[in-house]
Structure 1
Amino acid sequence: MKELQLKYGCNPNQKPSRIYVADGSDLPITVLCGKPGYINFLDAFNGWQLVKELKEATGLPAATSFKHVSPAGAAVGLPLDDTLKKIYWVDDMGELSPLACAYARARGADRMSSFGDFIALSDVCDKDTASIIKREVSDGVIAPGFTEEALEILKQKKKGNYVVIQIDEAYRPAPLEHKEVYGVTFEQGRQELSINDDLISNIVTANKELPESAKRDMKVALITLKYTQSNSVCFVKDGQAIGVGAGQQSRVHCTRLAGQKADNWFLRQSPQVLGLQFVDGIGRADRDNAIDVYIGNEYMDVLAEGAWQKIFKVKPEVFTEEEKRAWLDKMENVTLGSDAFFPFSDNIERAKKSGVKYIAEPGGSVRDDLVIETCDKYGMVMAFTGIRLFHH
């Protein structure tokens, strides 16, 4: 297939719309189900690159949950403990395949942002992974293949309209890429930087102890940032992004945004949240939203008289700021990646509040010495990669 006509572009008034390869070669994809749109394909191709590189860098199956051309979550396929199974709503599914674990993590880290996601999988989609996808509100999935069982499950989703795309693993794009803005064509070499051990070997802090788990998490953070709209930072814990701050003009606003998402991920594991008793029949999205409000500053929206009865069987106690801070103080060994240098030490101060121990960033700020000094104050390990990872 040389080209694929689309219903419209980013918006319904932007017609005509199509995808094709400029040199006239075949498209590297086959649509197995549904009618993917313009933004679906933007998410699909960016997501596929992300998971492909995660698999190459870690040797583990990988998944990502994309929304509006940035990842809401990304992860590799490490086993889930009982708490994570519960907060990702898969505790009733028994043992899951590594790929299914990867998607449960990618989807579960920031469930509010992942609502209606486009999924990318590094490996052939299996029954376990398809069974999780079937439960979630999602636009589509791209993978190098699908088992017969998985495809049958996915084809039942959205009354047969769920988008399923198979991509050719052997496809390699041209070394030059082009983008047109206002009738002007931009050309640049593809971002082919390999995220490997050498890239994170320049440790500039007094503490130089970088365990293998932290190296893996640095790779997850940096690869995620390669496909996140800049400015961006990414918090990672145990092989999964737990907070992505995307598309902010201010670096510290990225850090605050991603840090808050990471905090919410950890707060969902607290006894106060795990003990919430929801009314029977509540929808998954309503349950996610209720938790998000309960752990935030607008908690009375779900605890007010007449409101809580629609959500909970038993009215929860207020989750106080002191209780939340005490729980968050238990979060540790978190990794933080940044797509460009930290211009001020306030980013490090904010990162510390979310348990950050390891940092990977390009370096190159005139205030690098102050950033390093702040890391040293907290015993952090920071690597300078020497390379920016802007993505637009």
Structure 2
Amino acid sequence: MELRYGTNPHQAAAPAEPVTPGSWPVRVLNGSPSLINLLDALNSWQLVREASGLLGRPAAASFKHVSPAGAAVAGPLDAVTAELHGLTGSAVGGPASAYLRARDADPKSSYGDFAAVSHPVDAELADLLGGLVCDGIIAPGFEPGTVATLGRKKRGRFLVIEADPAFVSPRHETREVFGLRLTQERDLAPLPDSLATASDGRPLTERAREDLLLGLSVLRYTQSNAVCYVRDGVTLGIGAGQQSRVDCTRLAGSKVDTWWLRRHPAVRSLTFRPEVRRQDRINWQIRFVEGDLTADERARFGEVLTAPARSLTEGQRASWQGSLRGVAFASDGALPFRDNVDHARRHGVDHIAEPGGSIRSGEVEAACREHGITLVRTGLRLFHH
């Protein structure tokens, strides 16, 4: 498989070859991938295949820079997501709903993403992708006509990759770094057995169990350190690649706040001029929610609206953010201090899954009891690099 270039355009890349001659996990149906395109495709496909297998529903992910910006399983679209895509009152099929829910988790980051779905792409999803800024998609199949529809995106350069759902990866994986060949066992540890009960013996609700499973599936394919907030089968905030775990928790938590504040009546009442594009509307909503518009932005924001915006007061923000509950939080490594629990609680977290084993695990457990959070110790670290 020829690659356009490596990590950067100035880096040439040799053709991609299967580890086992003739055994290809994927094939390109349209476009020409770069090295990062393939990394996004291979990681995102593994994520959605695992999540769908665990939860029994179509799953989707929106990938950027080899980590998910969002992930979700199929389900109803809330009013904000539906209105954004002109789908008010319309039923949306499994693959399309999973992807739209995944993309809405962090729509600013998902601009120019790589999409992955666990089920074949149908005409509905192909048509929706036609109106979104997206670089490519990987799926286990494509219904008749969908490859041609997708192939018209990006002046014919839209990347369409078909995954072989029957492909079994070799037991070991190898990479070469600075003249050294590094080999390890592939991470095949099962997730379900570690999510039976909370640390105090209480059984998890089915909804909490599923959300934590989705979160752990996401973390297995997210650059560490990583944490994930999930609610009703949708990631609300993913923090990836941070050297400090609490920084990761706070970063992902700020994304949860943005997701939830986008649903505030004051944000939903913003009226944009008809010519303002969907992504620009999203970006303005997010900047409005963040509340730190520059002088230049304030002037331009007024120009894209048909009526002045009603600013959110600190009291309104606090009240709205305090109304979010039922969020699940998963961590790929042990929580080293209780501050992660304290920050997570600020973003509606009622359930936490983490490996345990920190020298301060007792303090973490005590913090969960103090906040009324259900704690699950998985005993399973899920670092990904």
The answer to whether 1:113 aligns with 2:109 is yes
2:16 match: secondary structure: strand
The answer to whether 1:237 aligns with 2:234 is no
- Equivalent position of 1:166 in the other structure: 162
Of 300, 325, 330, 2:318 maps to 325
5+ long unaligned stretches in structure 2? none
C-alpha distance in structure 2 between counterparts of 1:90 and 1:193, whole Å = 41
2:364 match: secondary structure: helix
C-alpha distance in structure 2 between counterparts of 1:95 and 1:301, whole Å = 41
- Equivalent position of 2:222 in the other structure: 228
Of 60, 67, 81, 2:78 maps to 81
- Equivalent position of 2:93 in the other structure: 97
* Aligned positions of 1:184-199 closer than 5 A: 184-196=180-192, 198-199=193-194
In the superposition, the TM-score normalised over structure 2's length comes to 0.97
C-alpha distance in structure 1 between counterparts of 2:63 and 2:303, whole Å = 31
Counterparts in 2 of 1:244 and 1:22: CA distance versus 1, 3 Å: same
AA at the equivalent of 2:267: V
Note if contact 1:205-1:372 (Cα within 8 Å) is conserved in structure 2: no
Counterparts in 2 of 1:142 and 1:93: CA distance versus 1, 3 Å: farther
AA at the equivalent of 1:153: T
Note if contact 2:197-2:204 (Cα within 8 Å) is conserved in structure 1: no
- Deviation string 1:110-138 (CA, Å, 9 cap, x unpaired) is 00111110011100001111122111111
C-alpha distance in structure 2 between counterparts of 1:34 and 1:93, whole Å = 35
1:186 match: secondary structure: strand
The answer to whether 1:151 aligns with 2:140 is no
- Equivalent position of 2:67 in the other structure: 70
2:108 match: secondary structure: helix
- Deviation string 1:146-191 (CA, Å, 9 cap, x unpaired) is 1113223212211221110111111111101001110101000001
Note if contact 2:322-2:346 (Cα within 8 Å) is conserved in structure 1: yes
AA at the equivalent of 2:343: R
* Aligned positions of 1:246-325 closer than 5 A: 246-301=240-295, 304=298, 306-325=299-318
C-alpha distance in structure 2 between counterparts of 1:341 and 1:387, whole Å = 9
Of 341, 345, 352, 1:348 maps to 341
- Deviation string 1:193-237 (CA, Å, 9 cap, x unpaired) is 1221x211252147x242100000000000000000000000000
- Equivalent position of 1:59 in the other structure: 56
The answer to whether 1:380 aligns with 2:373 is yes
AA at the equivalent of 1:204: S
Q: CA deviation at 1:310?
A: 2.2
Q: CA deviation at 1:97?
A: 0.2
Identity %: 41
1:80 match: secondary structure: coil
1:101 match: secondary structure: helix
Q: CA RMSD in A?
A: 1.5
C-alpha distance in structure 1 between counterparts of 2:369 and 2:352, whole Å = 12
- Equivalent position of 1:201 in the other structure: 196
Note if contact 2:135-2:159 (Cα within 8 Å) is conserved in structure 1: yes
2:15 match: secondary structure: strand
C-alpha distance in structure 2 between counterparts of 1:338 and 1:90, whole Å = 35
Of 12, 15, 38, 1:15 maps to 12
Note if contact 1:64-1:106 (Cα within 8 Å) is conserved in structure 2: yes
- Equivalent position of 1:138 in the other structure: 134
C-alpha distance in structure 1 between counterparts of 2:86 and 2:356, whole Å = 40
1:18 match: secondary structure: coil
AA at the equivalent of 2:29: L
In the superposition, the TM-score normalised over structure 1's length comes to 0.95
C-alpha distance in structure 1 between counterparts of 2:137 and 2:177, whole Å = 28
- Deviation string 1:364-391 (CA, Å, 9 cap, x unpaired) is 0111111111110111101000010000
Higher mean C-alpha deviation, range 47-56 or range 286-295: 286-295
Counterparts in 2 of 1:367 and 1:16: CA distance versus 1, 3 Å: closer
Q: CA deviation at 1:5?
A: 1.6
Number of aligned positions between the proteins = 385
- Equivalent position of 2:22 in the other structure: 25
Note if contact 1:66-1:72 (Cα within 8 Å) is conserved in structure 2: yes
C-alpha distance in structure 2 between counterparts of 1:166 and 1:138, whole Å = 16
C-alpha distance in structure 2 between counterparts of 1:215 and 1:94, whole Å = 29
Note if contact 2:341-2:368 (Cα within 8 Å) is conserved in structure 1: yes
